[in-house]
Structure 1
Amino acid sequence: MRFDDLLGTVRTIDLTSPSAAQAAWRQIVDLVGRGRAPADDWALSTLASIRKRVPLVARAASARGLYGASVPAVLVRLLATDDIAVAAPVLRFATLTDQEWTDLLPALSPAARAILRHRRDLSGTVQRGLESFGSVDFVLSGETRANAPVAAAVVEQPSQVEPAPEPAAEPTPGITEESGAFLSLGAIAKSLPIVAEARRRENDNEAPVSDGGVFRIADVVARIEAFQKRQDEQPRPSAAPSLPLREAFRFETDPTGMIRWVEGTSREAILGTSIAAPARPAQPGVDGIAAGAFRRRARFADAHLIVGGAGEASGRWLMTAMPLFDAASGRFTGYRGSARRPQRHESPTPVPAVAPAPAADSLRQLVHELRTPTNAIAGFSEMIECEMLGPVEPVYREQAATMRDDAHRLLSAIDDVDVAARVAGGALPLDPEPIAVAPTLHRLAADLHLLAESRGAPVPVIADELTVLADVRALDRILSRLLGTAIGAATMGEEIAVHADAEAGGRVAISVTRPNAFDAYPGDRILSVDDEDSPASLLGVGFSLRLVRNLTRAIGGAFDIGDRAMTLHLPAVEDDEMGHTASS
């Protein structure tokens, strides 16, 4: 997919209406933040001019949406100097050079600098720069509190340090001209005569000098420096063997019930979890309380969530959430809520240990980072196509429709990657139930009729009244990907027939004609083909068929590729089992 001159399109939007300003803010921040458009004067001045007219919630969501991107320093500055709700997400992941951090620190609020103090990936230069703001950012107790602003004034008066021989531009407080590095408060104060006198008196065991009960600047500086020295001399605690468990977090879902945003704990193990369907007993996922409330779009409280793995978010949680609806249209937009650890009496059964899958967790994090901007592209293109932002020329509406279709195809591929990662990590929730085979096959074949017509491939379905035991969503994905791959590879006029028959061993065999294009790959060698030319999936034929194979195994079936057909072997539901299900 190619998106040409999107920033140029934004330039043509009339920004006078609140909705247009909000849409432009989201688009410019996303394009500039992800390097798809230059961080030029027009983009930054536009963001600065419309910032006050964009709701805080929308600005904060745009900042969160940049997670994982290499945001330019100028955009980091604009967002980091905004409200702390906007600044916090960016400051947690922004990657800047030491000089860029040095230039930014004085412009940040104390709350914003406090966020940076919790990062462990910043260089010593940046950390020393943060330390130099201690007298401003930290509230001191007792007599020191009253004199803290005075101590800060020492740092803010570089002219008291050795004077320059010629007039020059005023340097940034606390930064040396040679290296641009921050100096600590004590290092700057040592060059002051009054501090030298205080240090001499301290060495001579003399009492601190005071005038009328008011401490001098030197006394305050000496105390702060002594405190820092004691802290540096204390032994560092040894690293803990594992991360401590967190006690609470907040979350939001999309309209499908998928958790898309997490704050307060590690995200990787929770992002992508669905509250729309209950998990199997003792498996990662939610219980029936959350799933039932989701179907009714109702509030729920203390629903159980089990998170697998061995990180800080693993274990059992109790979730409480409220449904959200769009104020203008009344459309359901998802859930927002929080989760907490259960008390001893609320968790009677221990949570079984689930083996961690770091690679799968990383892949799910990548899926989340891809899904967020793709959803934004799809939503914005739909707004243009429907002229929600004002009249649009037909040519631009056609381009928006193409962008929307491409974005939805990309979202489908992203979902496939997400499912593959869940299968690999053993975190895919499955709820087997009896499913009639014939109606399912006819429905999916009808869904693919446009692809079949474009290939000129008839798709006859021959199926008896058979029933299989499988998870509905998993079976739909298996059959749709298998049929789509076969139809997409068919030559013009080639028939792709579908047969469903009972077989020995209490199973149902669903076979799909193997396209002639697969003859170049004998046996199951087609599984190892990684191409990107399949009209059925952006991920290619090999990935789609491997997903079919792995999902089929997950629901208790098998998948084999023969010379003439590709066949699914699924567990069947006998008549007595159907009767038992109906009676229960």
Structure 2
Amino acid sequence: MRFDDVLETVLSSTHETPQAAAAAWRQLVDLVGRGRVPADGAVMERLHELRARVPVTTRSASARALAGARPPLALVDLLACDEASVGSPLLRHVELSLANWEALLPRLTPTARAVLRHRRDLPGEVVRALETFGSVDFVLPGLPAPADVKAPYRLAAPIDPLPTTTPPEPPSFKSVGSVARAIPLVVEALRRGNDNDVPAPLPDGTFRIADVVARIEAFQRDGASPAPEAPAVPAREQFRFEADATGVIRWVEGVARGAVIGLSLATPAQPGGTGVDGGAAGAFRRRTAFADARLSLAGGLARGIWLLSATPVFDTATGRFTGYRGHGRRPNPHEQAGGAAALRADSLRQLVHELRTPTNAIAGFAEMIEHQLLGPVADAYRLQAVAIRADAGRLLAAIEDLDAAARSEAGALELSPEPLDPATLLRRALAEVEQLRAVRDCSVDLVAGEGRVFADRRTLERLLTRLLGTLIGAGEAGEVIPVTIRPANAAVELVFGRPRALAAYAGDALLQIDEENSPASLLGTGFTLRLVRNLAQALGGTLVIEAARLVLLLPAAAGRIADQAASG
């Protein structure tokens, strides 16, 4: 029997320091957003209390971390009614019932409702409800809103925007003089004009155009007051971009277009100049994905250092490379110095080395006890030694996965690509996970087509073993997992069916699964799938997550051998 006291621990902790308040905010948002604790009064009261003490960057990051989750209405209301940088990431994907949308929409700001108007997956009732706020959200500043916008609405019934029972309003004609009086230049001229013998307005409140000209001339003659400073434009933190087959960025969203459009991913920038570093240029030459490549921009609001991540795009009909799609972000504080990612990876690899040595020693001593190499041992102790050796083996496998993840992040994987038969490697991987398959009582249906891949043998074997182990570990009794190998232009597709237990996770939410005690890996399903994706990218391929299957795209051996022959 297990008792989850995480909520009590968080609520009972002191949050006097800013760091403690930020940590408590992240923990509570994650617990409530993923349904681990109910959104009751004590939790939401604590969140409302912490919001004013937590920086907006932390609140925005916690909202983005809820991608793929189904947070309750109370938490959605708290985040959506916050600043635009906090509520917008959540409103772009959150799913609510019609009743909850009806309760939430009136509480949102016009900016938040504008985010919802760009969604194409909302129910028709919600779209019609958003249209009823047009008279509020689209009204020009300084003009009064219509009196009927406060009337309640219902999502279930369409709203007639032009009621026939309402009598027509009188025409809202305004004279040129009355309109001109609202111009700031004329207002100041009127204030100063009375001291310069300028003709006064007519008795009905209007005045002639000549009078307007006279007052403006008087205002310009006496001098104008300094214009108020324009409000500072908030700096952008991320943007999206697309590049063509030559590596030139042709489209960007989220940052000033003039600063990024026209930059090339194919040519590294000169020291101190504008452009990308050698990592992005090297990935472009290999037509592979890259992550956290440095982009330097000079001038404008977008000046400074950005970190770019992108994946290559290929034409599905011809297999021809068409460019890149990706995003850029500002580096985190610990990433400001150059080489921070490599430093983190080196630290993790050092930790892996320190873990591997004692684990190997434990496994070795357990094996000596099991085989009675040090003398006779009672059967009970031998069984304990067998269990210890098995646990040490699982721990060693997790350590090796951490080492592979660190090496892939730092780009330090030692690869020796060669032509390989994926069907043969899949059969070897199935033999390694046979014991797990027998325990889960599910089967794998392998349909091997033609096609050889060009990849590193050791890395590909690890990738296939971990991927098959994860899918089989999630399989149910009697379930059949289909695996198909087929050529796809310049690549080879390995198509894996998704078990029913993973069907509830859409898109990249599959990579965020953090369950404990996974049958396949101590590190969990999400970590293993992220490792598989990173290893696939290191091999020059990619892992595509579809609704009912996982597609592993690897470079075909024939195409790579031809490229090498042409370049040689």
- TM superposition score normalised by structure 2: 0.42
- TM superposition score normalised by structure 1: 0.41
